[in-house]
Structure 1
Amino acid sequence: MSAQKQDQAFGDKPEEVRDTDHYLEEYNEGFVDKWDDLIDWDSRSASEGDFFIQLLKERGCKTVLDAACGTGFHSVRLIEAGFDVVSADGSPEMLAKAFENGRKRGHVLRTAHADWRWLNRDINGRYDAVICLGNSFTHLFNERDRRKTLAEFYSALKHDGVLILDQRNYDAILDHGYSSKHTYYYCGDNISVYPEHVDQGLARFRYGFPDDSVYHLNMFPLRKDYVRRLMTEVGFQKIETFGDFKETYRESEPDFFIHLAEKQYHEDNE
């Protein structure tokens, strides 16, 4: 692979790059081409099962906005499960790959290039559910960006809609150091994923592939309770958090947390 494809333009001090918009540099053509090797669609389907499909069906959802569609994994799964899906992403490279992956599987994805902070400018309609998966929300380094994004997600939902948003278990990484079973999310073979640097304002992850290519992502290490608080302050009332697809868990065990936030207004909530 050429050096150009591996160059993510972090500069001489990559640990100082703490900018929401830098993800556009990080998800370059080379890294996007490797992304499906990283998640391994078949292994991911087996480990995840029907978790998201069941959550959505139990709540009567039919229309879904996949706000961080990446290479299309969840969009395709939801389409095949009978949902009406719009696939959005801020990365043009990811959207192109998602559309290509959809075509390979016999689907024409309805794609939309959208910055979450102005989501409702770039997408139409209201949805039964908005999903933001793949640890994508942690690309937002600025609290104002996070609040604006959650407000946009809230606005994109119908009155009784739900938001499903996931994140790495940064609490465990910050408090106890990094360990991962890679059982559920990044299931590709012979791929190395670990944080090269972690502090209260940055988790810089290194992704190494069998052909010796290396890529990085700079992300903000969001704590679980902080995300839940932001959701509440934006207007979501009932929030349920799963650990690696389980309702009960020890706080340090899950690799990922999955938040399910309901927009529906409960008058008796204090």
Structure 2
Amino acid sequence: MKEATQHNPIFQRTQDFGAAPTDVRETDHYQYEYVHDFVERWDDLIDWDGRAASEGSFFIDVLKRYGCQSVIDAATGTGFHSVQLLKAGFEVASIDGSPQMLAKAFENARQRGMILSTVHSDWRWLSRDVVGRYDAIICLGNSFTHIFNEHDRRRTLAEFYAMLKHEGILILDQRNYDALLDGKSAPNQTPGHKYYYCGANVTAEPEHVDEGLARFRYTFPGDEVFHLNMFPLRKAYVHDLMHQVGFQSVTTYGDFQSSYKESDPDFFIHVAEKSYREANVDRDADKS
């Protein structure tokens, strides 16, 4: 049993990136990064009340604008957005590749009087694990950048595309890796802390960035430290990939705003339409 637990992420309590952490550039390694102790601290990083105040009704407004009712929350995490959408009256399927995260999300929802419909699934085989077609898929929390292999990124977006109804939309966010890679991030500013990671006395900051890896350090009170290794996707590349997979229009917001200077936002939020619907496009937002 001891040998099995060493290789099963469900039982791990501490992260292990080996002797050369910046050499770990594999999609499947995320399962070993979201260990039990990190998941238990994740809500301290997010701060649900702070996150709700910072993003307001942005995602709910977008979904309603497109007439969506059924939604796949493809990166459920600890359940924040699934709970927000359920409270707003949407039908939600909560998906995550981390069983630890799903367990935490289910408990968080239960404490708030809700029952999540959870599915443990890898995005690359989403249609195998989830039945039906949905009006929208959301993939938030910079989660898409856990994918290091381009073939896997294409396959994931193709799965998302296939799971959407004809006029469905995909909402996918990412850090502003362009600013990080080009050295244009705002000085003395912790990336993502203003809108996304609202917890007090916690930090989420880049420890290493190159064209093939963004390694982030998460520090909690008591000097407890965790890391995530992610691929630094440039915005233009994501747009192009979405179009190649079949999405007809992609509208991008910067920190929930339709107008922004490219280097300013911490996060980009892409709204990709499966079929083009001009009436629903915000003309002030960055489009491609």
**Distance 1:181-1:24 versus aligned 2 partners, 3 A rule:** closer
Q: 1:123 maps to which residue?
A: 130
- For 1:190, the aligned partner's letter is N
Distance 2:133 2:18 in 1: 40
Q: Does 1:12 align with 2:19?
A: yes
Please give the secondary structure, in 1, of the residue aligned with 2:195. Answer: coil
3-state DSSP of counterpart to 2:31: helix
Confirm whether residue 56 of structure 1 aligns to residue 63 of structure 2.
yes
Match of 1:35 among 42, 62, 74: 42
TM-score, normalization by structure 2: 0.89
The yes-or-no answer on 1:202 pairing with 2:213 is yes
1:95 equivalent in structure 2: 102
Describe the SS at the equivalent of 1:229.
helix
CA distance in 2, matches of 1:104, 1:214: 27
State the one-letter code of the partner of 1:99. Answer: F
Give the equivalent residue in structure 1 for 2:89. Answer: 82
1:137 aligns with 2:144: yes
* CA displacement, residues 4-40 of structure 1 (integer Å, 9 cap, x when unaligned): 9662110000100000000000001000000000000
Deviates more, 1:44-53 or 1:170-179: 170-179
Per the normalisation by structure 1, the TM-score is 0.95
Q: Which amino acid aligns with 2:99?
A: P
Query: 2:232 maps to which residue?
Result: 221
CA distance in structure 2 between the aligned counterparts of 1:177 and 1:53, rounded to whole angstroms: 31
CA distance, structure 1, for counterparts of residue 17 and residue 164 of structure 2: 36
Aligned residues: 264
Equivalent-residue separation in structure 1 for 2:245 and 2:142 (angstroms):
20
Q: Which runs of 5+ in 2 are unaligned?
A: 1-10, 279-288
- Runs of 4+ in structure 1 deviating by more than 6 angstroms, as ranges, are none
Equivalent residue of 1:176, what SS? coil
Structure 2 counterparts to residues 98-113 of structure 1, below 5 A:
98-113=105-120
Question: Among residues 162, 165, 189, which one is paired with 2:172 in the alignment?
Answer: 165
| Structure 2 CA distance for partners of 1:59 and 1:201, relative to 1, 3 Å | same
Measure, in 1, the Cα distance between the counterparts of 2:12 and 2:127: 32
Kindly state the Cα deviation for residue 266 of structure 1 after the two structures are TM-superposed: 6.8
Deviations 1:200-240 (A, max 9, x none): 00000000000211000000000000000000000001110
Is the Cα–Cα contact under 8 Å of residues 6 and 213 in structure 1 kept in the other structure? no
The residue type paired with residue 73 of structure 1 is F
Determine if contact 2:192/2:204 at 8 Å carries over to the other structure.
no
2:265 is aligned, of 250, 254, 261, to 254
In structure 1, the partner of 2:51 is 44
For residues 104 and 259 of structure 2, what CA distance do their matches in structure 1 show? 35
Match of 1:198, as an amino acid? V
**Helix, strand or coil: the match of 1:112?**
strand
Code of the aligned partner of 2:110: R
Relative to 1, partners in 2 of residues 1:181 and 1:135: Cα closer, same or farther, differing over 3 Å? closer
Any stretches of 5+ residues in structure 1 without a counterpart?
A: none
Deviations 1:71-130 (A, max 9, x none): 000000000000000000000000000000000000000000010000100111100000
Q: Give the SS at the match of 1:53.
A: helix
* Deviation at residue 181 of structure 1 after TM alignment: 6.2
Distance 2:111 2:277 in 1: 43
> Which of 192, 198, 201 is 1:190 aligned to?
201
Q: Structure 1 residues 221 and 189, CA, compared in 2 at 3 Å: closer, same or farther? A: same
Looking at structure 2, the residues matched to 124 and 95 of structure 1 have their Cα atoms a distance apart, in angstroms, of: 18
Rounded to whole Å, the distance in 2 between the matches of 1:152 and 1:104 is 32
**Could you give the per-residue CA deviations for residues 102-160 of structure 1, whole angstroms, max 9, x where no partner exists?**
00000000000010000100111100000000000000000000000000000000000
Letter in 1 for 2:72: L
